[in-house]
């Protein structure tokens, strides 16, 4: 009880408001440090296959011998189709599948995004498991073109050869679907949407043949031409749309089979050389986080994730001595493992950060870092709320035991109010202590509402502008968003607004929302929440200040961390064209159901905008 | 131009065979495209109703007969099925679908009882007894899996003297049919798999088939003279993959063939020693009975007729040009029918019999009758809360409309919204639903029963869809493999065809479905148990210590070291202290 009384007494203490900035700073520092220690052995774990049924690498693979001759022939066939029309290609691929006695169907699709028309055709074949009851299916994907736009010669040929080879086996407990999608992103998306009947039948054809519930999907990306190319490693791509990840068991099975059974080393996140040192682990993790944070489709497998179908892409990289049959046997063994599954993959982790092909951090270990960053905003928001309710006149501490300072005599005399306590005695209390400060909520609340609605504008514009106008609209947005906070602050200052309390409240609500959004987002897409959290940390510390020495650097920092400027800087840093990124984002919005831009324009940008207006208002006050 | 020969006559011949005699059996072999082979085994035993009631069993198996008597079952249909019938390649189903069931086990029976409760208790008796007889989980057909179809099933037998009949129907879509079901099936036969065509039935090959169904049908038939017999028909239909079945049992792995054995397309420009575009096999594969079934046919069952049509127990349905060599040491008789497309053999008794078909380049083929309807059903949507079912039924006939009854039996945890039921016909605004029978589910007591009588015009497609909600089960109601999903029984489509004459009806079944339900994280309770156990242990340990232990100061402890002596001395001192007071 004594402790509670002390705490209650501290409530009104002026010193309590000095604490939150330090608390926030500690949260941020611990949050970042937390992330940095994750690659250490003590905080990460070795991967393991959790689902007993998978039994990776326990079967002999027989995809050799004459299958190689057939593979080469199919690769020539695929190469012959490279410059043919889509219809011819579809027809020929269907014929090859049909000659293996499979059920074949095709699907046309077309999407409109950023003024572009994406239209192509998917071909797929269903191997009806001889003893299966059509309730479950696994998918093998060979996209016609890979993510870099190269024709996936050997990948498609491998799918055709494996289709012919798998047909001879009677052990399939699930149907096997072989999908040659028109491209690597929209094709699989159209197919998997139509498979679950959540497509728009006007532009995307419905599937004429379906099988059971999809249990897993594996895509092969092997663009080597008709004369082949020996590769060094398998690059396993696992990021899904919106940062969703496949079950770790699927990744582990692929690594286990490729590494342990076939002797092909695996790599991830474009880490071509990985010596398993701290730096490399950290780099892998950060690359994974950026990829997850952006939430874009990273291969044909990405589209499957939103439907709770675990999927990965096996990509061949480098020059080495492994050939196509090694990849074929890896796929064979992987499918035999998936075929063993009795239940949907659920045993292992869905939320993880990979540091190495055999090392990971699970959500319980990494989540606190993003949560701490998000908490820092909430702490500041609460502090600002408390501060906004304080009276601006100083409150003396009449019961102070410290000796009165030398300037005590100069202090104006505080007015005292006599208060009668129930037991009849009278006590004198400083009047400001009893006065109630009203919070003027109208302007701050309407301002926050306005900024969040304002975010809809760029969201709409970037998702719907045709490609030729994207650069112009991006540059305009860049200029406008830089100038707008200052203009708004200036305009408000003409009306002698906002008052000090109002700026505090604006910042309070903005940070409160930011903290809540980021905490919720951290459980869904950790990386995005963390990245935005880091980029918005200055918002916790900037205040409306009339001191130009304080306000100008703060404004400078904020202007540099404008989301549009950050996007621009990132494209310059990675040497990407900003239009290309915007086109991909628009495609993501219209085709894959990408949500990153919603977070950027409706969470990040409004909070930045509010912060910049607050700092600007200090300048003009 | 290959000439095509009709098979329509054939089904009539097969249907009319064997009326009257006491035991008949017949195996029909029909090579199908893509090196598949349909093998239809049919066994039929008759006993007079009178001797059956007197428990005087001759061909009718006593074990089954007594169960039927005990459960007052007048007509019984039991199906064990596995795999899918590929109507696109294989055409119409054997027996027009009347002798097959949905994936897993399906059972329906007409039970004589005074009221519904009694009928249900007799039905439970029946399912429990059959469960023991056939080593199947038929006892899991409880109230939630039992429905009483109104329009879909008609009795095949003659029930003029049994007025209070109740039809009950139950399915187990998740039941895996295997050899333990085949063995009791064979034991019901008079020759018990030792002779006759049943000697070919081998579990390894039967359950390696691409599609197989075992059925038992019991029905009473009455002649015009009022003499009634009880007929039991057992049939096994399977589609074997000839290539797969021919692999020896000790080496079943389909290794890649040596390159010399693959026919390459030499016309391709890239054809080389290491590059081979495989050509399709154009010739019919070679096979014989011993290879394909893994056993030899041990002559005729001596209980079959020795004369007449019923004595011909093995028939093969091929174009006349196909070479069929008979390999036996005994004497056999071959007869041909239906324009030579059907060759039937009277088997020798006591001698092995084999049919040998060499690899042959064919110029003619058989035209397979096309199915009257084809149906595909799938679950659409995703997520843990809702979904929708879509059934696409196609009528390929260019001229005639088809009327049928669509029967859906859904588990109670899948709750359909009937108001979302939509039935659309391609290119026609008319409503195809003529009549609806709907009995909603009651949680944990009974499942949904939906029957729709519909009409589909010629050459059109009917799309039936409805939404449903997924219920959340109690923790203990989940099976051990909860994350697999829950099986939903196949829909049964029974055609209403006035022209059908054999009294069995025509049926099409869809595949079963897998319904993923929201599944709790089952490791969570263990974590909770571990945590609470720890807390309990800590709390209990502390309180126990406080209650039981005596805390003494260090200096109060009697000096003189530890050991047994000190302990005993301490006890004695304490005792003295107690006594001293």
Domains of chain B: 2-361 (no CATH), 374-515 (2.60.40.740), 525-579 (no CATH)
CB-CB under 8 Å, A101 with B275: no
CB-CB under 8 Å, B381 with A197: yes
- d(CA A402, CA A399) in angstroms, rounded, equals 9
Nearest Cα neighbor of A465 from A454, A455, A451, A477 is A477
Task: Name every residue in A having a CB less than 8 A away from some CB of B.
Answer: 62-70, 72-74, 76-77, 99, 101, 103, 128, 130-136, 164-165, 168-170, 196-198, 209-210, 212-213, 226, 307-308, 342-344, 346
Provide long-range contacts, Cβ within 8 A and 24+ apart, for A523-527: A523/A367, A524/A242, A524/A243, A525/A242, A525/A243, A525/A292, A525/A293, A525/A295, A526/A243, A526/A289, A526/A292, A526/A351, A526/A353, A526/A363, A526/A366, A526/A367, A526/A370, A527/A243, A527/A288, A527/A289, A527/A290, A527/A291, A527/A292, A527/A293
CB-CB under 8 Å, A72 with B484: no
Cβ atoms A223, A152 nearer than 8 A: yes
Question: For B83, which of A73, A130, A210 is closest by C-beta distance?
Answer: A130
- d(CA A354, CA A460) in angstroms, rounded, equals 35
Residue B10 has pLDDT above 70, yes or no: no
Nearest Cα neighbor of B493 from B523, B527, B455, B457 is B455
* Closest-CA residue of chain B to A69: B275
Question: For A136, which of B82, B268, B514 is closest by C-beta distance?
Answer: B514
Nearest Cα neighbor of A189 from A111, A116, A245, A244 is A111
CB-CB under 8 Å, A70 with B276: yes
pLDDT number for residue A413: 59
- d(CA A102, CA B244) in angstroms, rounded, equals 16
- d(CA B26, CA B446) in angstroms, rounded, equals 41
Q: Is the dihedral of CA A153, A156, A159, A165 positive or negative?
A: negative
Contacts of A138 (CB under 8 A, 6+ apart): A174, A175, A176, A177, A214, A215, A216, A217, A218, A335, A338, A339
Nearest Cα neighbor of B44 from B28, B59, B63 is B59
Question: For A197, which of B84, B390, B484 is closest by C-beta distance?
Answer: B390
Question: For A210, which of B256, B280, B378 is closest by C-beta distance?
Answer: B378
Contacts of A414 (CB under 8 A, 6+ apart): A396, A398, A430, A431, A432
CB-CB under 8 Å, B381 with A196: yes
* Closest-CA residue of chain B to A98: B280
Residue B5 has pLDDT above 70, yes or no: no
How far does Cα B467 stand from its chain's mean position?
A: 27
Residue in the structure block whose two tokens are 């809809």? A456
pLDDT in tens, A441-457: 899 999 999 999 999 99
pLDDT number for residue A21: 92
Question: For A70, which of B207, B270, B278 is closest by C-beta distance?
Answer: B278
Structure tokens at A119: 């239209």
Q: State phi, psi for B366 to the nearest 5 degrees.
A: -95, 140
> Which chain B residues are Cβ-neighbours of A133 within 8 angstroms?
82-84, 103-104, 173, 511-512
- d(CA A531, CA B16) in angstroms, rounded, equals 78
Q: Per-residue confidence at B370, pLDDT binned at 50, 70, 90? A: confident
> Which chain B residues are Cβ-neighbours of A197 within 8 angstroms?
378, 380-381, 388, 390
The ipTM is 0.86
pLDDT number for residue B15: 44
Cβ atoms B111, B119 nearer than 8 A: yes
pLDDT number for residue A187: 94
CB-CB under 8 Å, B208 with A170: yes
pLDDT number for residue B366: 83
pLDDT in tens, B70-85: 999 999 999 999 888 9
- d(CA A170, CA A168) in angstroms, rounded, equals 7
- d(CA B9, CA B3) in angstroms, rounded, equals 17
Query: Which one of A69, A171, A189, A199 would you mutate to disrupt binding with B, by most B Cβ within 10 Å of its Cβ?
Result: A69
Question: For A213, which of B262, B482, B514 is closest by C-beta distance?
Answer: B514
Closest-CA distance of chain B to residue A135, Å: 5
Nearest Cα neighbor of B41 from B259, B282, B236 is B236
Question: For B382, which of A131, A134, A196 is closest by C-beta distance?
Answer: A196
CB-CB under 8 Å, A135 with B513: yes
CB-CB under 8 Å, A135 with B487: yes
Structure tokens at B31: 């090579």
Q: How many CB pairs under 8 A join A and B?
A: 131
Closest-CA distance of chain B to residue A74, Å: 7
Residue A323 Cα distances to A62, A317, A614, angstroms? 15, 11, 61
Contacts of A152 (CB under 8 A, 6+ apart): A142, A143, A144, A145, A146, A220, A221, A222, A223
CB-CB under 8 Å, A213 with B516: yes
- d(CA B311, CA A88) in angstroms, rounded, equals 56
Neighbours of B203 (CB within 10 A): 15
pLDDT number for residue A133: 84
pLDDT in tens, A318-327: 999 999 999 9
What length is written for chain B? 581
Question: For B511, which of A65, A73, A133 is closest by C-beta distance?
Answer: A133
CB-CB under 8 Å, A65 with B276: no
Query: Which one of A95, A128, A133, A364 would you mutate to disrupt binding with B, by most B Cβ within 10 Å of its Cβ?
Result: A133
pLDDT in tens, B443-470: 999 999 999 999 999 889 999 999 999 9
Neighbours of A560 (CB within 10 A): 11
Contacts of B163 (CB under 8 A, 6+ apart): none
Residues (pLDDT < 50) of chain A are 408, 410
pLDDT number for residue B13: 45
- d(CA B415, CA B444) in angstroms, rounded, equals 12
pLDDT in tens, B103-129: 999 999 999 999 999 999 999 999 999
CATH 3.40.630.10 maps onto chain A at 52-357
pLDDT number for residue B493: 94
- d(CA A343, CA B243) in angstroms, rounded, equals 31
Q: State phi, psi for A236 to the nearest 5 degrees.
A: -95, 115
What global pTM score does this model have? 0.89
- d(CA A427, CA A416) in angstroms, rounded, equals 10
Residue B214 β-bridge partners: B80, B236
CB-CB under 8 Å, B484 with A197: no
Cβ atoms A425, A489 nearer than 8 A: no
Residue B342 burial (10 A CB sphere; 0-12, 13-18, 19+): buried
Q: State phi, psi for A602 to the nearest 5 degrees.
A: -110, -5
- d(CA B248, CA A436) in angstroms, rounded, equals 94
Question: For B376, which of A77, A135, A210 is closest by C-beta distance?
Answer: A210
Residue B3 has pLDDT above 50, yes or no: no
pLDDT in tens, B95-106: 888 898 889 999
Peptide bond before residue A323 is cis, with ω within 30 degrees of 0 = no
pLDDT in tens, B217-269: 999 988 877 788 899 999 999 999 898 888 887 888 888 988 888 888 889 88
pLDDT number for residue B273: 86
Report which secondary-structure segment, H or E, holds A26.
helix A19-37
CB-CB under 8 Å, B482 with A168: no
Q: Strand runs (DSSP E) across B396-432, as ranges?
A: 402-410, 414-425
Average pLDDT over residues B22-47: 91
Query: Which one of A50, A53, A61, A66 would you mutate to disrupt binding with B, by most B Cβ within 10 Å of its Cβ?
Result: A66
Query: Which one of B246, B277, B376, B420 would you mutate to disrupt binding with A, by most A Cβ within 10 Å of its Cβ?
Result: B277
CB-CB under 8 Å, A130 with B208: yes
- d(CA A304, CA A188) in angstroms, rounded, equals 8
Closest-CA distance of chain B to residue A73, Å: 5
Question: For B276, which of A62, A69, A209 is closest by C-beta distance?
Answer: A69
CB-CB under 8 Å, B244 with A213: no
Cβ atoms A244, A306 nearer than 8 A: yes
CB-CB under 8 Å, B482 with A76: no
Q: Strand runs (DSSP E) across B84-124, as ranges?
A: 104-112
Q: Please state which CATH class domain A52-357 belongs to.
A: alpha beta
The 8-class DSSP code of residue B462 comes to E
């Amino acid at each position: 009880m004594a402790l509670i009384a002390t705490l209650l007494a501290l409530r009104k203490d002026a010193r309590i408001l000095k604490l939150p900035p330090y608390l926030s700073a500690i949260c941020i520092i611990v949050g970042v440090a937390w992330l940095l220690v994750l690659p250490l052995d003590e905080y990460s774990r070795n991967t393991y296959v959790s689902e007993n049924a998978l039994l990776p690498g326990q079967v002999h693979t027989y995809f050799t011998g004459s299958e190689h001759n057939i593979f080469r022939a199919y690769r020539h066939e695929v190469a012959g189709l490279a410059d043919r029309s889509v219809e011819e290609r579809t027809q020929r691929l269907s014929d090859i599948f049909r000659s293996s006695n499979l059920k074949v169907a095709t699907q046309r699709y077309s999407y409109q995004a950023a003024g572009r028309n994406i239209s192509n055709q998917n071909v797929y074949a269903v191997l009806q498991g001889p003893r299966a009851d059509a309730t479950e299916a696994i998918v093998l994907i060979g996209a016609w073109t890979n993510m870099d736009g190269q024709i996936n010669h050997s990948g498609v040929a491998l799918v055709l050869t494996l289709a012919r080879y798998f047909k001879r086996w009677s052990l399939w407990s699930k149907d096997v679907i072989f999908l040659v999608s028109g491209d690597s992103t929209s094709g699989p998306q159209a197919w998997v949407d139509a498979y679950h009947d959540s497509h728009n039948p006007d532009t995307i054809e419905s599937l004429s043949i379906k099988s059971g519930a999809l249990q897993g999907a594996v895509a092969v990306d092997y663009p080597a031409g008709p004369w082949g190319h020996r590769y060094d490693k398998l690059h396993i791509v696992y990021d899904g749309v919106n940062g969703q990840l496949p079950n770790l068991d699927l990744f582990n099975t692929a690594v286990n089979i490729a590494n342990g059974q076939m002797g092909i080393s695996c790599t991830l996140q474009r880490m071509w050389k990985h010596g398993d040192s701290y730096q490399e682990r950290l780099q892998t993790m950060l690359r994974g986080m950026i990829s997850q944070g952006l939430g874009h489709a990273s291969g044909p497998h990405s589209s499957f994730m939103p439907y709770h179908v675990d999927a990965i892409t096996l990509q061949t990289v480098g020059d080495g001595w492994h050939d196509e049959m090694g990849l074929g046997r890896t796929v064979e063994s992987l499918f035999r493992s998936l075929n063993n599954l009795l239940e949907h993959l659920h045993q292992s982790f869905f939320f993880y950060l990979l540091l190495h092909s055999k090392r990971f951090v699970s959500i319980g270990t990494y989540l606190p870092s993003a949560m701490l960053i998000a908490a820092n905003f909430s702490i500041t928001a609460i502090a600002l709320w408390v501060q906004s309710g304080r009276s601006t006149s100083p409150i003396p501490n009449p019961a102070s035991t410290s000796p009165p300072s030398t300037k005590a005599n100069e202090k104006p005399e505080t007015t005292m109010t006599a208060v009668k306590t129930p037991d009849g005695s009278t006590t004198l209390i400083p009047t400001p202590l009893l006065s109630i400060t009203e919070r003027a909520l109208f302007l701050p609340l309407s301002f926050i509402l306005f900024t969040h609605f304002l975010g809809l504008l760029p969201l709409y514009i970037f998702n719907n502008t045709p490609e030729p106008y994207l650069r112009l609209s991006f540059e305009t947005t860049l200029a406008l968003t830089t100038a707008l906070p200052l203009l708004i602050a200036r305009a408000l200052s003409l009306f002698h607004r906002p008052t000090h309390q109002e700026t505090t409240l604006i910042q309070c609500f903005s940070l409160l929302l930011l903290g809540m959004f980021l905490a919720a987002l951290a459980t869904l897409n950790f990386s995005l929440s963390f990245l935005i959290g880091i980029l918005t940390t200055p918002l916790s510390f900037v205040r409306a200040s009339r001191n130009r020495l304080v306000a100008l650097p703060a404004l400078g920092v904020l202007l540099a961390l404008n989301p549009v400027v950050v996007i621009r800087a990132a494209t310059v840093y990675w040497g990407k064209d900003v239009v290309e990124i915007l086109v991909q984002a628009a495609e993501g919005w219209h085709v894959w159901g990408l949500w990153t831009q919603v977070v950027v324009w409706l969470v990040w940008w409004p909070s930045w905008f509010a912060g910049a207006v607050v700092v600007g208002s200090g300048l003009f006050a | 131009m290959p000439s095509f020969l009709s098979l329509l006559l054939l089904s009539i011949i097969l249907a009319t065979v064997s009326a009257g005699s006491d035991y008949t059996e017949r195996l029909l072999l029909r090579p199908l495209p893509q090196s598949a082979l349909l093998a239809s085994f049919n066994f039929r035993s008759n006993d007079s109703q009178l001797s059956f009631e007197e428990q005087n069993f001759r061909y009718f198996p006593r074990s089954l007969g007594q169960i039927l008597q005990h459960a007052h079952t007048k007509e019984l249909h039991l199906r064990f099925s596995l795999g899918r019938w590929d109507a696109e390649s294989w055409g119409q189903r054997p027996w027009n679908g009347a002798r097959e069931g949905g994936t897993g086990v399906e059972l329906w029976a007409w039970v004589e009882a005074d009221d519904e409760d009694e009928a249900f208790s007799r039905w439970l008796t029946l399912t429990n007894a059959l469960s023991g007889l056939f080593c199947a989980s038929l006892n899991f057909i409880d109230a939630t899996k039992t429905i009483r179809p109104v329009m879909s099933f008609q009795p095949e037998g003659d029930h003029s003297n049994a007025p209070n009949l109740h039809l009950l129907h139950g399915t187990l879509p998740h039941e895996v049919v295997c050899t333990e079901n085949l063995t009791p099936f064979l034991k019901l036969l008079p020759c018990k798999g030792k002779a006759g065509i049943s000697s070919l039935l081998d579990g390894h090959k039967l359950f390696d088939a691409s599609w197989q169904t075992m059925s038992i049908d019991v029905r009473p038939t009455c002649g015009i003279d009022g003499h009634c017999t009880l007929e039991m028909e057992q049939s096994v239909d399977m589609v074997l993959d000839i290539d797969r079945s021919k692999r020896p049992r000790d080496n079943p792995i389909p290794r890649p063939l040596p390159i010399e054995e693959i026919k390459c397309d030499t016309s391709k420009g890239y054809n080389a020693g290491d590059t081979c575009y495989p050509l399709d096999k154009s010739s019919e594969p070679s096979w014989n009975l011993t290879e394909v079934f893994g056993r030899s046919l041990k002559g005729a069952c001596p209980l079959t007729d020795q004369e007449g049509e019923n004595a011909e127990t093995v028939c093969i349905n091929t174009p006349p040009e196909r070479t069929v060599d008979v390999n036996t040491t005994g004497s056999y008789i071959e007869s041909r029918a239906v324009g030579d497309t059907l060759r039937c053999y009277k088997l020798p008794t006591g001698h092995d019999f084999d049919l040998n078909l060499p690899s042959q380049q064919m110029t003619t083929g058989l035209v397979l009758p096309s199915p009257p309807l084809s149906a595909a059903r799938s679950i659409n949507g995703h997520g843990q809360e809702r979904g929708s079912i879509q059934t696409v039924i196609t009528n390929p006939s260019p001229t005639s409309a088809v009327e049928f009854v669509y029967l859906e039996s859904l588990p109670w945890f899948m709750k359909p919204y009937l108001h979302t039921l939509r039935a659309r016909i391609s290119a026609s605004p008319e409503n195809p639903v003529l009549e609806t029978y709907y009995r909603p589910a009651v949680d944990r007591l009974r499942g949904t029963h939906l029957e729709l009588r519909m009409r589909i015009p010629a050459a059109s497609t009917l799309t039936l869809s409805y939404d449903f909600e997924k219920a959340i089960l109690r923790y203990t109601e989940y099976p051990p493999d909860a994350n697999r999903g829950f099986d939903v029984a196949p829909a049964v489509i029974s055609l209403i065809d006035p022209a059908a004459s054999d009294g069995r009806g025509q049926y099409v079944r869809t595949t079963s479905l897998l319904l993923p339900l929201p599944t709790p994280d089952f490791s969570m309770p263990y974590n909770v148990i571990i945590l609470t156990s720890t807390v309990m242990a800590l709390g209990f340990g502390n309180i126990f210590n406080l209650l039981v232990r005596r805390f003494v100061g260090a200096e109060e402890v009697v000096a003189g070291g530890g050991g047994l002596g000190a302990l005993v001395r301490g006890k004695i001192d304490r005792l003295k202290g107690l006594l001293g007071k």
